[in-house]
Amino acid sequence: MAYDPKSVIEKGQAILGIEFGSTRIKAVLIDPEYKPIAQGSHTWENQLVNGLWTYSVESIWFGLQDCYSDLRKNVLKQYEVEIENLAAIGISAMMHGYMPFDKNGNILVPFRTWRNTNTAKAAAELSDLFVFNVPLRWSISHLYQAILDNEPHVKDIDFLTTLAGFIHWQLTGKRVLGVGDASGMIPVDPATKSYNATMVEKFDKLIAGKGYPWKLLDILPESLDAGQDAGVLTEAGARKLDITGHLKPGAPICPPEGDAGTGMVATNAVRPRTGNVSAGTSSFSMIVLEKDLKKPHEVIDIVTTPDGSPVAMVHCNNCTSDLNAWVNLFKEFEEIMGIPVDMGQLFTNLFNVALKGNPDCGGIMSYNYVSGEPVTGFADGRPLFVRSANDKFNLANFMRAIISGAIGVLKVGNDILFNEEKIKVDRITGHGGLFTTPGVGQRILGAALNSPISCMKTAGEGGPWGMAILASYLINNKKNQSLAEFLDDAVFAGDTGTSVAPTPEDVAGFNAYIENYKKCLPIEEAAVKYKK
């Protein structure tokens, strides 16, 4: 049946999903048929403070409240009605990072985001201890690095969580986390869907001599499976979300998740042998495994779906930021030429011209390293465009090189999965800004991964829509279906999107591009060393 959006909102049947991305906080309201009926957003940027990437607590709250306010205004404009009751809420955010709090609920050090690469020593030692790849950005790496650095705040930690876990805690009073986001704090056991008991014990023994008044499980949020009770919006939480006072408390809130989990839900990629690629400010691929990997790999993280299935994740710190900077350069050119600027059309034209370039980009290379890139071994980065006098330098090859450079690191990591580990995947779905221009991002990513890439109409809704779906699963799973069954039957109803397959020439060209890319990494090293 078709639902009237105004009636849905008036009756308190709308479901709210909010996601804290790296550059935007986005909110979406969906109806009982999972269709978006209103949206809101807030633009923000991380700050480099004392050498560490962070967002202040003040900016987090201002961003959340401004995003919700934008959503409320959108509802008022479209439907002339206030949001007073919600059927359910879901909160997601960029994964990992470090948010430690004392017993009074005060943050002990500024939020350390996934983007920081200062945890190399801790991550390496923990990887050896656990016999499991522990990435630099995981919460346990940040915690142990703080211990190695003898930071005085560690003894005062009462609660350690992620950004999504923090917001959820403030809205509900519950110290919980969805299992997918929890798996980015410390490894999770797929059998128990909670923190790996053996690794927790090893960590406690490792730091026993420090004499801290806590053990690891004392300070971590409880790990919850998708669909489990995670609390309700409190009176105080409602006031923090809606400063106008219209929103009433009581809405159930599902377990908070990371942006990787919402991407899997938004692309219906939670079953084994499915996968998705998120390509925005950062990029990551998520392949749901049907068997364990043969051995740990430093560039492959093992996390979980929101319902606890193991996932091989290749995470790249950089994706479209450098690409966007180049497009803005063309925008400036249009402005000085007196040409009216339509950014959507500009992106579309530049992306489409890339398909006219040589499959190997004419020899041109682009390194999009705005920050460090652990997959290729860089603690710091410099955006870099490289060509020789003999390369085929034209606009088509330039744009193809810039787009290829945005996913070059992703290719390096996934080659290990597909070529060394022989992982099989039936469907890969793309979502994020790289896929806004139909067909282009799909074809170039398909060339990189040697696989057809699907895109769905719903993938454009992104993380907040995926989070709203998880909130819907909490209250609407009447048949006691698994998350995969719920997505297949209720949400997507068999829709697998539109698939674009690469040509053999595209695949061979990207392989040539990436071999050149890897051989020339010393140029990037020199840029990092000498360009300050």
Look at the chain and report how many structural domains it folds into. Answer: 3
* Residue 288 banded pLDDT, cuts 50, 70, 90: very high
Please check whether residue 297 lies inside any domain of the structure. Answer: yes
The tens digit of pLDDT for each residue in 421-450 reads 999 998 899 988 899 898 999 999 999 999
Please check whether residue 112 lies inside any domain of the structure. Answer: yes
Q: Which domain holds residue 393?
A: 321-410+504-530
Residues 427 and 400 in one domain: no
Residues 304 and 440 in one domain: yes
Please check whether residue 482 lies inside any domain of the structure. Answer: yes
In terms of phi and psi (left: phi > 0; alpha: psi -120 to 50; beta: otherwise), the region of 96 is left
Residues 440 and 399 in one domain: no
Q: What are phi and psi of 287, to 5 degrees?
A: -115, 120
- Amino acid identity, residue 322? D
Residues 100 and 125 in one domain: yes
Residues 118 and 202 in one domain: yes
The tens digit of pLDDT for each residue in 156-171 reads 999 999 999 999 999 9
Given CA atoms 398, 402, 403, 408 in this order, what sign does their dihedral have? positive
Contact 251, 232 (CB under 8 A): yes
The tens digit of pLDDT for each residue in 21-37 reads 988 999 999 999 999 99
Give the model's pLDDT for residue 128: 97
Please check whether residue 238 lies inside any domain of the structure. Answer: no
* Residue 1 banded pLDDT, cuts 50, 70, 90: low
Give the model's pLDDT for residue 479: 83
Please check whether residue 433 lies inside any domain of the structure. Answer: yes
Please check whether residue 474 lies inside any domain of the structure. Answer: yes
Task: Enter the tokens of residue 480.
Answer: 């006691």
Give the model's pLDDT for residue 106: 98
Residues 348 and 381 in one domain: yes
Contact 221, 256 (CB under 8 A): no
Over residues 484-494, the mean pLDDT reads 92
CATH code (residue 481): 3.30.420.40
Residues 367 and 508 in one domain: yes
DSSP 3-state of 237: helix
- Amino acid identity, residue 8? V
Residues 349 and 308 in one domain: no
Give the model's pLDDT for residue 456: 82
Tell me: pLDDT of 412 over 70.
Answer: yes
Please check whether residue 178 lies inside any domain of the structure. Answer: no
Least confident segment among 135-144, 403-412, 424-433, 437-446: 424-433
502: number of CA atoms within 13 Å, CB side? 22
Stretch (H or E) spanning 323: helix 321-336
Q: What is the largest CA-CA distance in the chain?
A: 68
The tens digit of pLDDT for each residue in 231-255 reads 999 999 999 999 999 999 999 999 9
Stretch (H or E) spanning 223: strand 222-224
Residues 376 and 508 in one domain: yes
Over residues 173-177, the mean pLDDT reads 98
C-alpha distances out from residue 230 to 159, 193, 260, 480, Å: 17, 15, 19, 17
Residues 123 and 200 in one domain: yes
Task: Enter the tokens of residue 200.
Answer: 């927790």
Give the model's pLDDT for residue 460: 54
Q: Print the SS3 string covering 7-48.
A: HHHHCCCCEEEEEECCCEEEEEEECCCCCEEEEEEEECCCEE
Contact 271, 106 (CB under 8 A): no
Give the model's pLDDT for residue 379: 86
- Average pLDDT over the chain reads 95
Tell me: pLDDT of 461 over 70.
Answer: no
Give the model's pLDDT for residue 273: 94
Tell me: pLDDT of 504 over 90.
Answer: yes
Nearest Cα to Cα of residue 199 among 253, 130, 245: 130
Nearest Cα to Cα of residue 75 among 151, 14, 154: 14
Give the model's pLDDT for residue 378: 93
Please check whether residue 67 lies inside any domain of the structure. Answer: no
Place of tokens 């744009």: 399
Percentage of the chain exceeding pLDDT 90: 88
Contact 241, 171 (CB under 8 A): yes
Residues 116 and 206 in one domain: yes
Residues 347 and 481 in one domain: no
Give the model's pLDDT for residue 459: 52
Long-range contacts of 243-246 (CB under 8 A, 24+ apart): 243/65, 243/69, 244/69, 244/72, 246/72, 246/82, 246/83, 246/84
Contact 474, 30 (CB under 8 A): no
* Residue 89 banded pLDDT, cuts 50, 70, 90: very high
Give the model's pLDDT for residue 281: 84
Q: In sequence order, what are the residues at sequence separation of 6 or more whose Cβ sits closer than 8 angstroms to the Cβ of residue 77? A: none
Range 257-274 burial, b when 16+ CB lie within 10 A, else e: bbbbbbbbbbbbbbbbeb
Percentage of the chain exceeding pLDDT 70: 99
